[in-house]
A and B are shown apart, each in its own frame.
Chain A
């Protein structure tokens, strides 16, 4: 099962190794050895969980997307905070979101984004990976939620994973 000394996910291994160097106090012999062990072991163990890799991903679009999402997290926190502190009862909604993305990694990025941004948590995905169930904390109707997510997050992701 564990092929000796192979790195099935070279990028993952490289990222793990680099992160370990930053987390340990300065680069030393010990941290390099430990980093190599982790960079080998973790991809080996988690190999079965990784979906096939995207055919093509425009990674240079990622920073713009991340900035949009970070900004929305700040806004989202303020609006959720306001709702929590106001005496009004929230008006929650279960929304079935029709997915247009089809790559598993793209869908999981979209689902995570939805959970972190204004008033929505992604709750489940249908068995055929076509519909995402979203719980909206405070919404007027479901079409509005769907349009907002599609315009702001799914479109850029679709451009990235093509």
Chain B
């Protein structure tokens, strides 16, 4: 494995770890349910994406074949994250979770 590949892989791992951590901090720190949805759907998705990319580079550069399964995992993740966020938001509105006071606009009643 070349020096350059090692640097790229470590950079991606640190970036991925940092984003996953930030997503988790957001989950703990943001004020209400709806704003908390934003952390895991975005920051964490990019975090896992970066870790998967580093895994692809690692396995390609050590000559164990292109990591197609990692790419597929990333694609599945990108497809499922919005669906689960949507389901969570729908359920929260259904049972009438309160949003923070300075939220503007109203979720409709259904």
A96→B38 contact, CB < 8 A: no
Say yes or no: is A104 at the interface (Cβ < 8 Å to chain B).
no
Contact of A92 with B102 at beta-carbon distance under 8 Å, contacts A22-B72, A77-B19 already known: yes
Scoring A95, A112, A126 by chain B CB atoms within 10 A of each residue's CB, the highest score goes to: A112
B interface secondary structure, majority = helix
A121→B38 contact, CB < 8 A: yes
Contact of A80 with B43 at beta-carbon distance under 8 Å, contacts A121-B85, A123-B89 already known: yes
Enumerate chain B interface residues (CB-CB to A < 8 A).
19, 22-23, 25-26, 29-32, 34-35, 37-39, 41-43, 45-47, 49, 68-69, 72, 78-79, 81-83, 85-86, 89-90, 93, 99-100, 102-108, 110
B83→A123 contact, CB < 8 A: no
Contact segment of A56-64, A83-91, A151-159: A83-91
Besides A76-B42, A123-B86, 18 more A-B contacts (Cβ < 8 Å) are: A22-B69, A22-B72, A73-B45, A73-B49, A77-B19, A77-B43, A92-B32, A93-B105, A94-B105, A112-B82, A115-B81, A115-B85, A121-B37, A121-B41, A122-B86, A126-B108, A133-B108, A142-B105
**Cβ–Cβ < 8 Å partners of A77 in chain B:** 19, 42-43, 45-47
In angstroms, Cα B85 to Cα A121, docked, is 7
In angstroms, Cα B108 to Cα A22, docked, is 44
**Cβ–Cβ < 8 Å partners of B108 in chain A:** 96, 124, 126, 133
**Cβ–Cβ < 8 Å partners of B46 in chain A:** 73-74, 77
CB closest residue in chain A, given B83: A112
Say yes or no: is A111 at the interface (Cβ < 8 Å to chain B).
yes
A96→B105 contact, CB < 8 A: yes
**Cβ–Cβ < 8 Å partners of B22 in chain A:** 81, 84-85
Say yes or no: is A34 at the interface (Cβ < 8 Å to chain B).
no
In angstroms, Cα B81 to Cα A124, docked, is 15
In angstroms, Cα B102 to Cα A81, docked, is 21
Say yes or no: is A116 at the interface (Cβ < 8 Å to chain B).
yes
A84→B43 contact, CB < 8 A: yes
Say yes or no: is A1 at the interface (Cβ < 8 Å to chain B).
no
In angstroms, Cα B38 to Cα A116, docked, is 9
